[in-house]
Amino acid sequence: MANKNNKDQGTPEQMTKDENLSAESVDPEIVDSKEENLIDDAVKFINEKASEVIYKGHEEIGRYILEKFYDDDIKEATSKNPKKK
């Protein structure tokens, strides 16, 4: 985030651009263990769901290519032949 007290942060245009993109500056708070656990659980959940979505997307793309380009023929799809169908 841009430090508003430091004038060596770049041109005014860059500082304005950075300030528009950053969240409001907030003093750090002490997070108790219950809040920390809640945050950790949320991060874990989000990461797991993101991985599932990415994996599922790769799988769907592979199935589509196999079906449309290789008529569901896995041997043809994995062939080393440079002149596949």
> 39 with 31: CB under 8 angstroms?
yes
Q: Which of 21, 20, 25 is CA-nearest to residue 3?
A: 25
The string of pLDDT tens digits covering residues 15-60 is 555 555 565 666 667 778 899 999 999 999 999 999 999 999 999 9
Question: CB count, 10 Å around CB of 21?
Answer: 9
User: pLDDT band at residue 62, thresholds of 50, 70 and 90?
Assistant: very high
pLDDT at 1: 44
Alpha-carbon span 77 to 82, nearest angstrom: 11
